[in-house]
Amino acid sequence: MVDQKSKSVITLEEYIIQSQNKFPGAKGELSQLLRDIGLAAKIISREVNKAGITNILGEDGSTNVHGESVKKLDLFADEQLISALNRSEITCMVISEENDGIVDLDNDGGKYIVYLDPLDGSSNIDVNVSIGSIFSIYLRKNTSTKKLSEDDALQPGLQQVAAGYVLYGSSTLMAYTTGVGVSLFTLDPSIGEFILSNDDIKIPDYGSIYSVNEGNYKSWPEGLKKYVKYCQEVDDETNRPYSARYIGAMVADVHRTLMKGGIFIYPDSQEYPNGKLRLMYECNPLSMIIEQAGGMAIDGNGRVMEITPESIHQRTPIFIGSKQNVMKVKEFLDEHK
Ligand code: AHM
Ligand code: MG
């Protein structure tokens, strides 16, 4: 933890350097990588905030009011993040929701692999609701082989060396973990800097908010149907009925869960037998954040981060949030297997 008494305002850059100084011998590469992501986040945030004005919402190749051709915001975010990661030559490969295969950055000495969901919740863009960017960082497995392959990147979430997200909401914030707690920064647009707001954020052990797309109720597993009915029952002792909240952008729903407690669920269903959300660039990084904050993330059976991945875009069901809430839903799922 950084000594906050010595300084009232700490920027993301200062915080990363101070944190790195606690590990003598650290080469500063991961720190650089996090700073690069911070820079891309500021650029994306700027574009998100003027999306309506510049008509950036248009399809690829369309023309904005200034007669300039515009890109969809999710492709813009993808490009910004990849080019920021390419600056310092420490990332060898990127895997992104926007690209079918791996993106080889041609940095032969680069030892990091970065997974990205450049703009999560993109269906929210058109209606001015929160969206975010998610990242997950691994060390390259086979440094001896020159040619990069998906196999280098297929590692369980437990191997993540860092993970985090940027949320473009009523303000822009960035949360990340390197495996020693979760730090949260808020972007001050007047000075263009992320400012430390909390350097060891913890999720409440129990919360009374549940978050799931109830429109899919009919195709849910029986245990989940029963759990959601349980959430809606009246019981003063457990603060039920819970409130239902669903933004439709995982990063925003999970951020609220981190701050307020409760549970976010995207289950397996008849429509999506493996769930809808992506293991490598949605579920693993957000699971690492929530676990580092003291919460839990399971796929209905075991820990999300223990899943051995078989493909870079694979999906998984997820039940994530406050410990007591996740343990409760697991009881229901087990009972109705
Ligand atoms: P996206 O990354 O293409 O935006 O899709 C993933 C999003 C998640 O952010 C969100 O939790 C989920 O899809 C919402 O799905 P649904 O509309 O089925 O509830
Ligand atoms: Mg997404």
Complex-level ipTM = 0.96
Mutate to test the pocket of ligand 1, among 250, 255, 318 (most ligand atoms within 8 A of CB): 250
Picking from 55, 35, 37, the residue whose alpha carbon sits closest to that of residue 47 is 55
For 279-319, what is each residue's pLDDT tens digit?
Answer: 999 999 999 999 999 999 999 999 999 999 999 999 999 99
Taking each helix axis from N to C terminus, what angle separates 12-21 and 29-49, rounded to the nearest 10 degrees? 170
Q: Are 133 and 172 spatial neighbours (Cβ–Cβ below 8 Å)?
A: no
- Please give the annotated binding residues for Mg(2+), written as ranges: 97, 117, 119-120, 282
So what's the pLDDT on residue 53?
Answer: 66
Query: For domain 12-200, is the CATH number 3.90.120.10?
Result: no
Peptide bond between residue 241 and the one before it cis (omega within 30 degrees of 0): yes
- 328 vs 45: CA distance, rounded Å: 37
DSSP 66: T
Ordered strands of the 318-321 beta sheet: 243-244, 209-211, 263-266, 318-321, 296-298
For 236-253, what is each residue's pLDDT tens digit?
Answer: 999 999 999 999 999 999
| Mean confidence (pLDDT) of the chain | 91
Measured over the CA atoms of residue 20, residue 22, residue 27 and residue 30, the dihedral's sign is: negative
Of all residues in the chain, the percent with pLDDT exceeding 70 is: 91
- 265 vs 51: CA distance, rounded Å: 29
Domain 209-336, CATH class in plain words: alpha beta
So what's the pLDDT on residue 66?
Answer: 46
For 31-55, what is each residue's pLDDT tens digit?
Answer: 999 999 999 999 999 999 887 665 5
| Per-residue pLDDT at 68 exceeds 60 | no
| Per-residue pLDDT at 4 exceeds 60 | no
CA distances from 96 to 189, 213, 256, 266 (A): 27, 25, 24, 20
Picking from 155, 333, 171, 175, the residue whose alpha carbon sits closest to that of residue 254 is 175
- Please give the annotated binding residues, written as ranges: 97, 117, 119-123, 213, 246, 276, 282
- C-alpha of residue 283 to centroid of ligand 1, in Å: 12
Give the closest ligand to the alpha carbon of residue 251.
1
Q: Which residues are CB-contacts of 153 (< 8 A; sequence separation ≥ 6)?
A: 93, 95, 102, 113, 115, 138, 141, 280, 312
- 12 vs 40: CA distance, rounded Å: 13
Amino acid at the residue 116:
L
Q: What share of the chain is helix, strand, coil (3-state, %, to 5)?
A: 35, 25, 40
Q: Whose CA is nearest to atom 16 of ligand 1?
A: 248
Phi, psi of 168 (to 5 degrees): -100, 90
Beta carbon of 276 within 6 Å of any ligand 1 atom: yes
- C-alpha of residue 324 to centroid of ligand 1, in Å: 25
End-to-end CA distance of the chain: 43
Query: Greater confidence, 167 or 149?
Result: 167
- C-alpha of residue 121 to centroid of ligand 2, in Å: 5
Beta carbon of 213 within 6 Å of any ligand 1 atom: yes
Given the DSSP bridges, would you call strands 112-120 and 91-96 parallel, antiparallel or unpaired? parallel
Mutate to test the pocket of ligand 1, among 81, 257, 282 (most ligand atoms within 8 A of CB): 282
For 199-221, what is each residue's pLDDT tens digit?
Answer: 999 999 999 999 999 999 999 99
Q: Is 148 helix (H, G, I), strand (E, B) or coil?
A: coil
For 96-129, what is each residue's pLDDT tens digit?
Answer: 999 999 999 998 889 999 999 999 998 888 888 9
- C-alpha of residue 32 to centroid of ligand 1, in Å: 30
Beta carbon of 272 within 6 Å of any ligand 1 atom: no
Q: Which residues are CB-contacts of 159 (< 8 A; sequence separation ≥ 6)?
A: 138, 139
- C-alpha of residue 249 to centroid of ligand 1, in Å: 5
So what's the pLDDT on residue 63?
Answer: 52
Domain ranges (residues) in the chain = 12-200, 209-336
Across 150-176, b (16+ Cβ under 10 Å) vs e yields: eebbbbbbeebbbbbbbbbbeebbbbb
